[in-house]
Structure 1
């Protein structure tokens, strides 16, 4: 019993030291807790709004007909056609389209909506869009075509031999923020696991702290274990803060269970911390550690689905990215949060994480230097 206590005492001591060191360092607090929240707020503001398709347009009514006036008035409250009422001339509209502030301009020419055949109003609206925004222009043209077809049906009775019936799948879709959130968590774990150790360990070496540890009975594995546990605690706190913020401010749709979510988070931060441990443990100073950390993190950020989905990549690259350390972490979090999977449903991801964890810590033990 005493031998177990002696073995665990250095580990628990290092856990307390590391956690206290973090909360005494204002810069570390900023980068661990505040900086990820800034990222979350920025991306949440961008992707957390209304997911419906809409276009910002100018509507210029050059017709005096009652129909044109009615159409222009009803368009002001349209959710798809977001009309900029401040634009009153074609020159203003073109200037804003050139700057990318408008998707298109709808012009109702003179005589639009006049009753010419004595039966019903008619006319042809003009749609202007920038050639660099052709896809939005074509989509908006289809939207307007659908609107006018609905209006035409009120005046002309046409038979419709072919029809289509739309039916919901009865399941709610994901918002863009729900999908992006997993990538932001991956980015947070990556920053915490790699940039932290690659900054702290070289600094401790330069101060001679690790050299003094070496003269004691402390073993490398005890030092590693203490650091891993403290890092996992801090990682859970950082993720919990982001998670609560996402729930309160951006209506995150959490579909999985919290046990699975916490488990994949701990496994992910443990694996990624091993990379930082290997780099920081090998480097003699921060000048060596910083470039190595950037060399490892930047490819993972762009190839692991942090900022955009991996399924958008070429097929060959997708096969490669599956085995990048960060990819199974983000995929696992995404499957739990957005698909309602449990930790037992993400076996392939856990297998890759486990394999990388074993390899990374073997390397970290081999290359670690006390000074």
Structure 2
């Protein structure tokens, strides 16, 4: 069958192309290994604090409260107040704490506003607690905190879906764009057009190979994350496969559009990079976008990779089911349809 022969030839061509294998599989895996090794089992970093002399609010703190405090602060007792303050100016310490009569004086730097806010909020809470303890007044309210995720949840579970989405986008976009330009430049497209092979078979073979590569990428990513970094999948994680397939179709169509526009392989690579790399940053593939401004969040929601990443995060990490995949699938398929129609209008058999 022409379809089977074309699919086999395209797949073997993919496996023999070392550069394509590197960019589609090995390069994203390097990021998974890097992020997994650096971020696994790490939360927010501790703040380095210097305590000068005795500070009653800290030294007389109940043991459970002190233990909770030391999860976010690294407190070291020092005697040289001036030297410690200089370390704060130099950025080597976050703050210096000194007791001055009935005042708790905290010297900090505003250079790192996030750390400064954490320091201020922490010591404001310490002072409030100390004041309550001195007055002997029972607090009206108490705080109870409970983590919404499983206690064993690790950072790798947030890293894997985003990097996998980026890998899928890279492979599908680059593969389609570069192959289309290469086939046109070498005259292979013209020969396929003149050969007794239906155009539908050529298209289906290209789609089938891209979907097969995406499934292979998914297996490698999940296998490495589970085996090497302790990724724990929720019960609905197989739904991620459906999202991977629809995401591949979306980015395959974007690659076909790029390949239809460009005349050289270098141009196709540049255009694919211009599309995929900024999209990865704006879609949360490398870091979360929770603190991004509203206008940036709005732009992010217009990108197909954002919906692929969010959908895989929902079913792989957050334990959601079918309700979490319908909207991302519809958006990704919509992108695939629109980009395919535009690519078909711009498509040329000859250079």
| TM-score in same-fold range (> 0.5) | yes
* Corresponding residue for residue 33 of structure 1: 25
> 1:295 offset after TM fit, Å?
3.8
> 1:289 offset after TM fit, Å?
1.8
* Corresponding residue for residue 162 of structure 1: 140
Deviations 1:252-307 (A, max 9, x none): 34224243111111111122112112322443321432343234334533443334
Q: Which structure 1 residue ranges, 5 or more long, are not aligned? A: 1-8, 110-121
Kept in 2: contact 1:256–1:338 (CA 8 A): no
Counterparts of residues 77-92 of structure 1 (less than 5 Å): 78-83=70-75
Q: Say yes or no: does 1:367 pair with 2:346.
A: yes
Q: Which structure 2 residue ranges, 5 or more long, are not aligned? A: none
Deviations 1:320-358 (A, max 9, x none): 543433232222212212222234543222222222222
Counterparts of residues 225-264 of structure 1 (less than 5 Å): 225-264=204-243
* Corresponding residue for residue 44 of structure 1: 36
CA distance in 2, matches of 1:70, 1:235: 58
Kept in 1: contact 2:94–2:108 (CA 8 A): yes
> 1:311 offset after TM fit, Å?
5.7
* Corresponding residue for residue 130 of structure 1: 109
* Corresponding residue for residue 358 of structure 1: 337
CA distance in 2, matches of 1:94, 1:264: 53
* Corresponding residue for residue 171 of structure 2: 192
> 1:363 offset after TM fit, Å?
2.8
Name the CA shift for 1:41/1:100 in 2 (closer, same or farther; >3 Å).
farther
Deviations 1:76-104 (A, max 9, x none): x933222479x885676456545544322
Deviations 1:104-151 (A, max 9, x none): 234578xxxxxxxxxxxx775543221212442343244345556767
Structure 1 SS opposite 2:138 = coil
> 1:233 offset after TM fit, Å?
1.2
* Corresponding residue for residue 150 of structure 2: 172
| Root-mean-square deviation (Å) | 3.7
> 1:25 offset after TM fit, Å?
2.3
Name the CA shift for 1:105/1:246 in 2 (closer, same or farther; >3 Å).
farther
TM-score, normalising length: structure 2: 0.80
> 1:158 offset after TM fit, Å?
1.0
CA distance in 1, matches of 2:173, 2:23: 12
CA distance in 1, matches of 2:18, 2:79: 52
CA distance in 2, matches of 1:22, 1:147: 61
Q: Which residue, out of 272, 275, 278, partners 2:254? A: 275
Bigger Rg, structure 1 or 2:
1
